[in-house]
Amino acid sequence: MLDYGANTTTGDVLQGHDLTGRHFMVTGASSGLGEESSRALSNAGATVTMLARNTEKLDKAIERIRSNVPSADLRVGIVDLADLASIRSYAAEFLETDAAIDVLINNAGIMACPFMKTADDFEMQFGTNHIGHFLLTNLLMSAIQAGQNPRIINLSSAGHTHSDVDLEDPNFENTEYNAWESYGRSKSANIHFTRELVRRYGNELQSFAVHPGVIMTDLGRHLTQELMDEMTERVKSRATSSEEAKEFGGLPFKTMEAGAATQVWAATTNDLTDNNGAYLGDCKIGIEGGNPSENGYLPYIYNEETAKSLWALSEKFVQQKFSI
């Protein structure tokens, strides 16, 4: 395995890769990490289906990519992950094409927003970041299984350290809403989902959960100074790698190319075969108890019973069972 790290870029991890003939699907592709992942993958020859809920923003992202990669083979899908009907409609439409998906990158997300609900009455962060991707992934599973060396990459975060999932009150119906706790629950859910996919499908597919690092994207549009200060203090209290990290919070900002590198690496490398289901950060395998701002994670994200229970709860919420 190459000596990658926090400053590794998408160009670094794709150097020497020819992805011609491979099909990647990326959610949240109209800006930020989704756009950069789509650009980098298409630049390496891949066909990329870019999913987003806003047609105008997605069209502009495609224009930006094609100005950089004129030969980019890009396809478009409109889907709102906060609306189960939209997800079902898109999935049905896609499956009619009989196209295979080699890699699904569940990149889209919302972070630290005020208390809101999805179209189906789920708390917005849990509903969008987990439930939406849970349904989309399972509805597209036949196309994913038809892919070559199929993979599912779930964008998680060091934010998982804010909280594990709450299976008793996932929608904050009985507890006071906290934006960071909600975000943490949803990011922990992304990891539990990853682990359960691997438990269910075994060697039929690979799945990885990814911490991208701190990048200035539209994801932070809901952040107030108060929320930023709260996040910094939380991270400082958990930083473990150095005294500097403990003092300043260990929140080094990354470029977009470095931020998208870990999910692109997870989607394309052959170095992770023996680590299926792993949590990744800074283009490295996660370390239990390590610095969350790098590739550290808390042990509750690898609890098999929690993962199984979350899957069952998610099936209940979308009113559909999925079996292998």
Q: How many CB atoms lie within 10 A of CB 173?
A: 10
Element spanning 67, H or E: helix 55-68
291 torsion bin: left (phi>0), alpha (psi -120 to 50), beta (else): beta
Structure tokens at 17: 């890769």
H-assigned helices in 132-175: 133-139, 141-145
Structure tokens at 53: 């809920």
Q: How many CB atoms lie within 10 A of CB 180?
A: 17
Would the CA dihedral through 287, 166, 220, 105 be positive or negative?
Answer: positive
Structure tokens at 133: 């991707």
Would residue 297 show up in a list of annotated catalytic residues for this protein? no
Structure tokens at 214: 């701190």
Whole-angstrom distance, CA of residue 207 vs CA of residue 191: 10
Q: Which of 4, 90, 183, 297 is catalytic?
A: 183
Q: Helix-strand-coil percent breakdown of the chain, rounded to 5?
A: 50, 15, 40
Q: Which class for 305: exposed (0-12), middle (13-18), buried (19 or more C-beta within 10 A)?
A: exposed
Whole-angstrom distance, CA of residue 157 vs CA of residue 212: 7
Among the listed residues 183, 179, 178, 176, the one whose alpha carbon sits nearest the alpha carbon of residue 160? 183
**How far from chain centre, in Å, is Cα 176?**
26
List residues with catalytic annotation.
183
